[in-house]
Chains A and B, each alone.
Chain A
Amino acid sequence: MKTLSFRMLLRRSGTAESILAIALTVAILASITSVVNHVNSQAQTMGKLLNVGETFLILSRSSTSITDSKVDTELARLIRNITNTKYVLTQKVFTASLTTTSNQSTVVVRGVDTQAFLEARNAQINGVSANDTQANVGEILARLASINKGDEISIAVDNKTVTVEVAGIVQTFTQSDTELIVPMSIANLLTEDNDKVSFIEFAIKDGEQAEIDNLSEHLPANVKILKTQQTQAFIQEVNNQTVSFLSLWSIAVYAIVTAASYVVASRLTIESSYEVTMLKALGAKPTIPFKLILSFTLVIASLGCVLGLAIGLSGAQIISTATRWMWKNIQITPTLEIQQTTQIILFTLASSILGSIYPALKATRKTYAELPL
């Protein structure tokens, strides 16, 4: 009897309109999501086309910046052993007081293997890289502090002072242009804890993620690896912002689906009130009308979903083709991922159930005697 009643409900004249109402709402969601997917995938593709670097940093896990990080110097050996590296640079970064013949200022000092560091930076040097009694000065710092090649400068940290000769002025187009670059031996003289450095910078030859994953497994828990160029993460973050807006916007669409389902279920209870009350009069359990109306709305919502997804996707495709004719530089390929399709179907069905519960409950309460003559 249930099947027969259900078929009777489905054959009503308003069924097609009800499916269309839900389908059009789902189509809005499907088309916008598919276009956003295209925009996001384009951004990610562009990110992949960029020449993303292969340089990584090892910092202490709790650190939020370079100067508050401390890692074991021995880790550099581990990196060399495990990975196929271009270079590994241990670096000690700290602030110091700089005294020149003409002024005194506070500067950032970077203790490194100067030659390897300047080679890694492709630095232009007016002079040579510093040896154990010398320092290199960044171009901008040299200009600001009036330092020239061959000058003698004093570097002081607390009560420890070192006087060194400026071996060369360097230009790296990085932060080092404002720093004093000194050999690690000088950095160790000025600071304590010689077994520790601020961080380790290394570059791998082929940029394979497997190398980094392997290294991560061997590193102690108190350190972290960071890639210096974060193109993918940046694009992902920007894409997430679009997706967040879309998610919140889709709530309004699902609200419309709920309303549409309410309307569909209400219309059904009005138009089929005779049939429903007759069923009850013939001895059907009170839950039967409830189940029937809920099932009807779910079937309508499911069909609406499928149709809506098709309309949305094909509509977006047609519009993108038309756009391509009008503006040749705009190439949109709308796509919908499987999990998004599933999500749209599930949320539509859930919204549909939500919208049809009240009319369905109302229908169970209606008796034959309440019907207008």
Chain B
Amino acid sequence: MTLISFKYLQKQRLLILTVVLMLASVLFSITAFGFFGFYKTFNAYLGESDDIIVIYQTGSTTPFTGFIPLQLTSRIENITGVLASSPEVTAPTLVKRKSVFFRGVIPEEFSKLNPLTILNGKTLQLKDTDSAIVGKRLADTLNLAVGNKILVLGALAERYLELEIKGIYESNSAFDDEAIVPLYVGQWLRGTNYETVTLIRVKIDRGKLTPTLLYEAIAKEAKAPQPDGKTKPTPIEEIIPISNTAINPENLGVQETQKFMKTYLEKYGMTQETLLILSITVFVFASATIFGASHILIQQHEHETAVLRSLGTSTKTLRQDLIIKVLPWSLAASLIGVIGAMVILQVMKNSGLQALSHTILFKPDLPLIILNVLLVSAIVVLSVTYATKKLNPK
């Protein structure tokens, strides 16, 4: 006996199950998209391109707190395959009572790796001793305009300084939540001397150089005698005094930017797998409600199913039919849930929701959406199967 054309389930009752499924889907999507958004934003923090690698201090506990010799920049620039290198100092600070990351850079070198679009004002020069350019999102958050003066207070060092906003830029990356200053200003805010930086990002020709080869080249450079200082000084050497520093390759790591960030996230147990397990756990815990809702639906139609059973419909046929009738609703519920979650996350993002002072960029992730649909469908099938087992056999 085929029951497909027999509409014995009331739409209003189905709608209630759909709402419950939708809420579970919203919860799963917010959890998964939220955590994966954080994970992906920070993975892409220093660049997503394969040809950008980073030289960093292996022992540092966070990507913001390492120290490596600035002199490495000039020592690696002649290595075959190195196209550009950007030494950078990251300094956590407080501006207008908000936590802000300042990035000390050599603007010309930085722009070779991350071209910035200046939306307002002017671009930063290395000689701009008391200026900063700020990312669009940061400018919006702190209500900053070109020409404004800000008082910056250090978080890791006992430093305060006044800077004038020279420009507002957009990079379509995590840098839009940061402020960029000349390298030496970053060094003041970080509380370090002029010889060290947090990391050096290097743009390489993948055909000629790999991170391993670069590391080997650095190790070789470290053994080579120090330059005698008669070479033409670089623009940064003309401004700040940089003395010769011994390079210890054992303290240095060289990795692709994404792998570098991944290493730090994994240090704190944040892997794609753990985040996925966490999201699924949240869904599974919420699924008890779905079980209950499915049970209610079957109970509410006990009279109708009893009639069908007395007409000779087997439990198996009834179960299959119920699943077929409920599944499209569950599919719709999970998709509406995904859309709802995206809207909620977008609202959260627009209202200034951040993690580690950086805006989380939420993007719909197809595998996660498919997983969501599959999980909701699986729970619906399981719960309907469970509920039909309890049907009166008469």
Residue ranges of A at the interface with B (Cβ–Cβ < 8 Å): 17-18, 20-21, 24-25, 27-28, 32, 50, 52-53, 55, 57, 59, 64-68, 93, 108, 139-141, 143-144, 171, 173-175, 177-178, 226-231, 233-235, 237-238, 241-242, 244-245, 248-249, 252-253, 255-256, 259-260, 262-264, 266-267, 270-271, 323, 327, 329-330, 372
Contact = CB atoms under 8 A, between A and B. Distances in A.
Contacts of A329: 267
A18 B291 CA distance: 10
B158 A175 contact: no
Contacts of A244: 353
Interface string B63-95: 000000000000000000000000000001110
Interface string B153-174: 1111111111000000000000
A24 B283 CA distance: 10
Contact of B159 (A174, A237, A248, A372): A174
A62 to B, nearest CB: 13
11 contacts: A57-B160, A64-B96, A64-B148, A141-B129, A235-B155, A238-B357, A242-B355, A252-B26, A259-B293, A267-B296, A330-B269
B129 A248 contact: no
B6 interface: no
A144 B292 contact: no
B20 A228 contact: no
B130 A249 contact: no
Given A229-B157, A233-B94, A241 B20 contact: no
Nearest to A69: B151
Residues of A contacting B: mostly: helix
Contact of A238 (B99, B238, B239, B281): B99
Contact of A230 (B155, B192, B300): B155
Contact of A177 (B94, B154, B184, B289): B184
B286 interface: yes
Nearest to A312: B285
Given A174-B161, A267-B299, A255 B357 contact: no
Interface centre among A59, A171, A241 (most CB of B within 10 A): A241
Given A28-B285, A233-B94, A256-B27, A241 B159 contact: no
Contact of A237 (B151, B185, B269, B357): B357
B384 interface: no
Nearest to B277: A319
Contact of A256 (B23, B98, B192, B269): B23
Given A140-B184, A175-B161, A234 B94 contact: yes
A64 B149 CA distance: 7
Contact of B292 (A52, A231, A267): A267
A268 B364 CA distance: 39
Contacts of A262: 16, 20
Given A245-B348, A256-B23, A270-B296, 13 more contacts: A20-B288, A24-B285, A25-B285, A25-B289, A50-B156, A173-B192, A226-B153, A230-B94, A237-B98, A241-B357, A248-B344, A252-B30, A253-B286
Contact of A140 (B26, B160, B240, B268): B240
Contact of A24 (B149, B184, B288, B299): B288
Contacts of B303: 372
B28 to A, nearest CB: 9
Given A28-B285, A249-B30, A327-B269, A66 B348 contact: no
A18 B289 CA distance: 8
B19 interface: yes
